[in-house]
Amino acid sequence: MQVQDVMTEGCVTVPTSATLSDCVTRMLMAGTGSVVVAEDAPIGIVTETDILVAARDIEEPIADIPARVAMSQPIERIEPSATVRKAADRMRDHAIKKLLVMDGIDPVGVVTVTDLVWHFSEFQREAGKLAEDGRTWNRGTR
């Protein structure tokens, strides 16, 4: 199974001039847990956790905290044709929960740990089918 099969299509963005309050508003409007900070290209990501940490650590209202101060960067990326296993491995290796899905230089979506969990039963079915196909090939029936 590929990232494009499980990712959330589209990418919610904010400009580099955005505040954390702007990020919260965009997240709530879009029903998402993160926004990508972009100039001409994506430069970082602000997640719910980033906002909570900044709100705790910076003694200012979130309306006064620039997104670029709290964003995670560099933003980890993956291509739509990558396997979900590669996405899960990259998330684990970088201790992150979200990857920006890029088709060349164009952001096309986001894949999250939640996306992977929601599709877990599909992964199991696909793995079982691949295992059965392998047994069939090994018995010489194909």
Average pLDDT over residues 92-112: 94
**138 pLDDT more than 70:** no
Within 8 A by CB and 6+ apart from 106, the residues are none
CB burial class (10 A; 0-12, 13-18, 19+) of residue 24?
A: middle
Contact between residue 50 and residue 69 where contact means Cβ atoms under 8 Å apart? no
**142 pLDDT more than 60:** no
Number of domains in the chain: 1
For residue 123, the domain's CATH number is: 3.10.580.10
**90 pLDDT more than 80:** yes
CA dist., res. 137 & res. 70, Å (int) = 52
Residue 119 is predicted with a pLDDT of 77
- Range(s) of the domain holding residue 67: 3-138
pLDDT in tens, 6-47: 999 998 999 999 999 999 999 999 999 999 999 889 999 999
